[in-house]
Structure 1
């Protein structure tokens, strides 16, 4: 059947055809952007963090007594808790910290090199108060200089992550440089610090006590491979036994913290993926209904063709050709829809731009779905007998 005759046939059913084209266009736009969001979410979740996610446990703790939330009692409480936690079988290291890595936000300072504030200032850099076992817990490696030790406790000496050091000092040796937050004594390997900081891998580590814990603090624990669940079951009870007057949060593995950070992207991608699947299913049902109804309406025309010698394969191709052309037109509008939807989503969430090949690949997927949906109605059309169809002439 020629394209002209197919278009003429479609125009005889303007409303039904228009609705089918709209459905196909919206389906393609939704599927394309769902695939982009799913890909972006997977990249976020799978990106290297510099942390042994399945070996690190975190738990929020807050003393219920106001006295215990202030110094010097606060340091004594934390010390008792850490001593007890480090004795749990399977625990390799444990420490306190004012905030944990891999979060949406937290405690930040700006940092700049003294005498070069205008040229070197970096805003919103996460800082971590902790002590000697933090490096073992995080698993960071020393890049240059030295690690902080107990002798640095309460002194204005700091460690920087590698990316932050390069941002502040470029190719210069950062060791010995004086910043507004203290003297740099070393640089450690990068780890994912905060999502909405000036850079996710910027961080500064300071040895010193927490002055108060009105908002609580975090205990962060590194366990031996395969021991995270066994330690998790004991951790809350051990901490509470060391100091009963506390509120304690849920014990989480670091990969669970990661999933929570990217929860909105993962949830939206999942939702759109489900909607896309439903839209494809509805498009297939609509294509089936459209083709089946049209095949019934074409009985006379098909009968004449069969009487004139048209083969079943030719009749099958004619019916499928109409579905293919309808899908191609709907997908053409769908390309415009997918770019428009992508621009709208980019205003509220992080989503990659639409690559040229993805709408074309999705068009092929849509064409395959429609072909499968219309195959049975097309087969019905091929079974029309010339004698039966020509009785109405």
Structure 2
């Protein structure tokens, strides 16, 4: 079967071929981007966080009374709440913080070496103001220096010491000594193991922590609890009653494990990946039905032509390969158009969500999947066409 005759066969049914090409292109574009998004979401959900997600419980709350949101009443409230939740069975450690980990944005700022802002500045680093057991709750590993043990009063003119995570220390100091260096936030006291802070930062593992009360809690604050393995649900059920017994004038926004927090952080990507996957599956199914119908009716219209070819000595395999080749050529052209459409869709999605650029071997794999589906769909009508008898050619004479 010559390439010219294949093209001529496709052009003989221009409208059907054009619609099928459009359908193939749209299917490939959706399929490619849904696979990209699914891969990225899977990687994000499985990336190391440095945290025991299932055994750390987050309580997000704030006082509803204005007098409790200012010092010294706020500090006294924080201490009473920590004492109450620490006494619950199954709680290993408890701490307050101005914000949780694993967030989309939050309290952040620049961190740089004092006097070297131009060279060392790191923007959008999460800023944590915590109680001293924060490191115990997160089970942070001390890599350098000593952890601060005393909370610094807000009235103290001396800046509290700073603790940073390992990734941020490497970015600021490389292999140079870090402890005792003066940062714009204060003296560096310790370097701890990485944990997932804010998604919106330069690096999700860059974090700055200071043992000091939160500056303000008008937007709320967090109480973080580390529980014994398997006790998170039991602890969580007692938290509302315990916290309201300490102080009824509070609003509890939510109570969840960091595992749930992590899932919620990527729920938009996960939902969109699922939506695109369902649409891609439906488009693939419709494409298979369209390919089947096109081949079937095309074979019916060409019965006399096929009969003549059989009478002239063409084998069943030749007829079979000829019909499949037309569909393979149509799929190849549609796939090329689909790759271009996928690039445009990828750029459009990148304007609203984080999605990897289209590159690498993925288009080839997706084209192979599309080709396989079209082949399966057209196999039966092509096989029916090979049953046309040479006598069919004489019926119209």
5 Å-filtered alignment, 1:52-131, equals 52-131=52-131
Paired with 1:143 and 1:53, the residues of 2 have a C-alpha distance of 21
Deviations 1:321-358 (CA, angstroms, capped at 9, x unpaired): 21112111211222222233333433443322323422
Q: CA deviation at 1:298?
A: 1.2
Task: Tell me which residue corresponds to 2:186.
Answer: 182
Q: TM-score, normalised by structure 1?
A: 0.94
> Runs of at least 4 residues of structure 1 off by over 6 A?
none
C-alpha separation in 1, matches of 2:10 and 2:115: 75
| CA RMSD, 1 decimal | 2.0
- Write the distance in 2 (CA, Å) between the matches of 1:308 and 1:167: 76
Is contact 1:60-1:216 (8 Å) kept? yes
For normalisation by structure 2, the TM-score amounts to 0.93
How do 1:117-156 and structure 2 match up within 5 A? 117-150=117-150, 156=160
- Cα separation, partners in 2 of 1:196 and 1:151, compared to 1, 3 Å: closer
Per the alignment, residue 5 of structure 1 pairs with: 5
- Mapping of 1:325-336 within 5 angstroms? 325-336=329-340
Secondary structure of the equivalent of 1:386? coil
Query: 1: CA distance between counterparts of 2:86 and 2:393?
Result: 86
- CA distance in 2: counterparts of 1:201 and 1:183, whole angstroms: 20
Kept after mapping to 1: 8 A contact 2:61/2:254? no
Moved more, 282-291 or 346-355: 346-355
Question: What's 2:341 paired with?
Answer: 337
CA spacing shift, 1:151–1:208, aligned 2, 3 Å: closer
Whether 2:250 is the aligned partner of 1:241: answer no
Q: Partner of 1:251: helix, strand, or coil? A: strand
Q: Mean Cα displacement is larger for which, 82-91 or 115-124?
A: 115-124
1:127 Cα offset (Å): 1.2
Q: Which runs of 5+ in 1 are unaligned?
A: none
Structure 2 residue 293 is the aligned partner of structure 1 residue 278: no
The residue that corresponds to 2:47 in the other structure is 47
1:359 aligned to 2:368? no
Contact 1:61 1:218 (8 Å CA) reproduced: yes
Which residue of the other structure, out of 361, 378, 383, is the alignment partner of 1:379? 383
Q: Distance in 2 between matches of 1:350 and 1:209?
A: 34
Once the two structures are TM-superposed, the CA of residue 163 in structure 1 deviates from its matched residue by 1.9
| 1:309 Cα offset (Å) | 4.0
User: C-alpha deviations, 1:232-272, integer Å up to 9, x for none?
Assistant: 22222222222221110221111221222223322222222
Contact 2:151 2:213 in 1 (8 A): no
Please state whether the residue corresponding to 1:62 is helix, strand or coil.
strand
Of the structure 1 ranges 316-325 and 305-314, higher mean CA displacement relative to structure 2 is found in 305-314
Aligned to 2:310: 306
How far apart are residue 128 of structure 1 and its match? 0.9
Task: Give the stretch that moved more between structures: 369-378 or 147-156.
Answer: 147-156
Deviations 1:42-84 (A, max 9, x none): 1222111111111111111111111122222212222222222
Deviates more, 1:273-282 or 1:298-307: 298-307
Moved more, 39-48 or 135-144: 39-48
Choose 206-215 or 146-155, whichever is displaced more: 146-155
Q: The residue matched to 2:22 in structure 1 has which SS?
A: helix
Indicate conservation of the 8 Å contact 1:126/1:197, yes or no: yes
**2: CA distance, partners of 1:113 / 1:330:** 56
**Following superposition of structure 1 onto structure 2, how do residues 256-267 of structure 1 map, counting pairs within 5 Å?**
256-267=260-271
